[in-house]
Structures are given as C-alpha cells and as structure tokens.
Structure 1
Amino acid sequence: MKNLSIIFIFASFLASCSGPERSPSPVFMPDMYYSDAYEPYAKSTAGYPNDKKESEVYALNNHGMSSLIPVEGTVPKNEIETLPYELPNSNEGYLASMNLESPLNPSNAKSNIARGEKLYNQACAACHGVVGDGQGPIVQSGAYLGVPNYKDRQITVGSVYHVIMHGRNAMGSYASHFTDGDRWRVAEYVMELKNK
C-alpha cells in the first residue's frame, strides 16, 4: 500500500510537468485573474454593460467613461509649476546653489510660507523637528542621529533647495515628494525657521 501511494505521487508529479501543449489550469475567479485594462475616456466594459440599473462603480455611471473624478486637493497636470534646476548633484553644484534666490513671486510670500510650513510638517519635521532643531520624533527615539539644527548651519534658500532636490550626506533626495515650486516653498520655510 505504501509503495502504491509513492507511485501515485510520483505519477502525479510527472503529469503536472507536461510540456507547453498542456492547457492552463482552470481559474477560480477569472475576472480577478485577468483584469481589464482601461484607457482614460474609453468606453468601459466593466461590470454590468447590459444592465439598465445604476451601478455602484462610478466608471459605469460616468457616461460609460473609465476615467474618474480626480481626488480632491490634487493638482491638475497643466497647473504644476515647472521651474528648471540645472545645478549638478555634486559638491560644486551645492556650493553654486548657495548663491541662488527663490524664483517664486515675492508678492505671494505669505501664502508660499504657509504652504511651505504645511509641507515641511508633513515630510520633514519627523527628522528635522517642528522648529528645525534636528530633534524630530525619529531622532528623539534614537532611531537616527546627526540631524543638524538649522541655526547652526550656514545655509541659504538655494542650498536648502539643492539638498531637497539631490540630497546631501546621510539625507536622500526628496525631489519626488514635492513639485518644483513646493520645493522652493519648503526651502523658504526652512529659512524662516533658521531666522527665528
């Protein structure tokens, strides 16, 4: 009996290793295994295409379009500020950035600083601290050390932008966290913290 079960297991193994002519095994939920790809503004075929009642899926009620309403607070692509930054990720680039000024409109300084503060508190304060003293919760927990106090550093708005863009020393780049303009707003807010 024991030999018979070993032979059965071995035969099952060989049968499962058949060549490419073997048909694929059945799929339990094909609608989840083979997902439909949607093109924006293309007619949707998902869900209940022949059903006349309202669907809970927004795409089916949006005149059959597959694109959805953007999430509240997102920035439309055509409204993103594009401010080119040409300095290289090098020590020379960092030194050259010390002479840069913010390209943002000075008449919007108050709103720029307010937005910079909000973004700083979301992305930077965990390490750099709410007041820029390098004593954020991550540093206080002992998980990471050596975050500088802004008041102890010779920094400019340009050098802060450069560090956000490319990173420096142990800090990595945060360029992907902010738009071009928002990087300058955070840099301006950092200078506000330094000068307090």
Structure 2
Amino acid sequence: MSRLFKITTVIAIVTLVFTSCDKTKRNLQYMPDMYQSVSGEPYEESNVFSNGIEAQLPAEGSISRGHIPYEYPDTNEGYEDAKKNLKSPLTVADFDSNKEAQLFDIYCAVCHGKKGDGQGELVKREKFLGIPNYKDRDLTEGSIYHVIMHGKNMMGSHASQLTEKERWLIVKHVQELRNNLLK
C-alpha cells in the first residue's frame, strides 16, 4: 500500500505543477483599477470641471503660500517711491553680520566687489563694465531693496534667489559698505 500511496502522491504533485503554470488560463483580478489605472494627461479636455481642463487655476486674488506681495511696481516711479518710503521690517536682533557678508559674497560681490567699490571679479575680467561704486550713489534701504527685487539697468532681479529676510540682510550690508567707503 505504501508503494501505491507514493505513486499517487507523485502523480498528484506533477499534475498540480503543470496545471498551476498554465499561461492560457486567464487569472481573476480583484479590483482591476488597482492594477491598471485609468490614465489621463495633465491638461487634457475634461467634462469634470467647468473650465474644461483637469488642472484648476488658483482663485482670483489668492496669494501662494510663503509669498509676500511687493507693492512697488517695476517702474521709475516705483523706484522713487520705494526709495522714499520703504523701510526694513527687521529688528536689531534679526541682523547677523556674518550671514549678511556671506549673502553679499554669494550674490553681489562677483560684480560689486567685496568692498562695494564696483571692482568685482567680473569687472576685473571685463565681462561687465560700469558697475556702480556704492560711494557714488544716493542709496536708501528702499532703493537697495527695490533694485534687488526688480533689478535695474544691467542688474537682473534676485527676488527668486533670496527670501525677504535675506534681501533685507543684504540691504544692511550694502549700507555698511557704503558707510565704510564714505569715511
């Protein structure tokens, strides 16, 4: 009887192996959307939303998180208005002379020079000419901040690279450099 049992067991195992590996039989899928997602393109036409596209526009008048609106326009009038009226919101405790110098070295010194004398590395290599010396300019907190925000003449805007606080730190450092040049 043990021999008959062994033969039956071997035949059952072989049959089980061959039938379980049959690729022609379709497997049953439970929740097929989990396996094959419904595809869609980001901006394709759709009847889900009223404007006909999947991506929605932000609400009128909304401000993105972390963005603080700058009220002075990129015009000469905006520059003059900022020059007269714009003041730093930072307190004395917010300023850090090491951070100020570090930010200035990263973003400004390559053109304006480490001393603010307009003799940065790019000027020395004659890549840019006519970079102003801080001593020769009538600078205020507002005018410096406005130029960092919007740029002026050949200088482009640095608003996307610097946070509001970092811009004000650079403003303070530029004023210190200007005061050193005037001595």
Alignment correspondent of 1:164: 148
- Could you tell me how far apart the structure 1 residues matched to 2:156 and 2:89 are? 23
Alignment correspondent of 1:125: 109
Alignment correspondent of 2:91: 105
Identity among equivalent positions (%) equals 48
- Could you tell me how far apart the structure 2 residues matched to 1:151 and 1:83 are? 31
Contact 1:83–1:181 (Cα < 8 Å) also in 2: no
Q: Give 1:83 shift.
A: 4.8
Normalised to the residue count of structure 2, the TM-score between the two structures is: 0.59
Q: 1:83 to 1:103 in 2, by over 3 A?
A: farther
Alignment correspondent of 1:92: 77
- Where structure 2 has 5 or more consecutive residues not aligned to the other structure, the ranges are 1-64
Task: Kindly tell me the number of residue pairs found equivalent between the two proteins.
Answer: 115
AA aligned to 2:82 is: S
Alignment correspondent of 2:130: 146
AA aligned to 2:71 is: E
- Could you tell me how far apart the structure 2 residues matched to 1:160 and 1:83 are? 18
- Could you tell me how far apart the structure 1 residues matched to 2:176 and 2:114 are? 12
- Could you tell me how far apart the structure 2 residues matched to 1:124 and 1:116 are? 11
Q: Give 1:104 shift.
A: 0.7
- Could you tell me how far apart the structure 2 residues matched to 1:166 and 1:121 are? 20
Q: Give 1:84 shift.
A: 3.8
- Could you tell me how far apart the structure 1 residues matched to 2:88 and 2:98 are? 15
AA aligned to 2:92 is: P
Radius of gyration: which is bigger? 2
- Could you tell me how far apart the structure 2 residues matched to 1:143 and 1:93 are? 29
